[in-house]
Amino acid sequence: MAHHKKMKKKMPKTVRKVNLLVTNTSSEKLPATEVYIFYSLRWQVEILFKIWKSIFRIHISKRMELEQFQCHLYGQRLRLCLVASVTYQMRRLL
C-alpha cells in the first residue's frame, strides 16, 4: 500500500485523473459515458460478492433439511440486503 501511495505522488495530477475503460463494443452501440456507468456498477457488484463470500461465507454450507436451508437462505439474504443498504447510506454520509 505504501508503494502505491509513493507512485501516486510521483504521477502528474493529469495522469491521476485518467481512467482506461476497455470494451469490445463500438462507441455507436455504447457511448463512453455509458461505459463508465457500467464499469462503476460492475465494481459495486464485485464488492458485494466479495463481502458475501468473505464475511457471510456463502460459499460454505453444511448438510441440512430443505426447510432449514430455505430459512437459512432467506435469513442470509435479508441480512445481506440490510448490510448493503446500511453500507450504501454510510458511504453517502461520508
pLDDT tens profile 60-71? 767 888 898 889
- Determine, yes or no, domain membership for 40: yes
Q: Which residue has the higher pLDDT, 59 or 83?
A: 83
Number of domains comprising the chain: 1
Domain of residue 58, residue span: 32-93
pLDDT of residue 6: 56
Structural domain contains residue 14 = no
What is the rounded average pLDDT of the residues 72-86?
A: 85
pTM as predicted: 0.42
pLDDT band (50, 70, 90) for residue 20? confident
Residue 24 lies in a domain: no
Q: Is the pLDDT of residue 8 over 60?
A: no
- Cell readout for 11 is 504521477
> Which alpha helices (H) appear in the chain, and where do they start and end?
2-10, 13-16, 32-54, 66-93
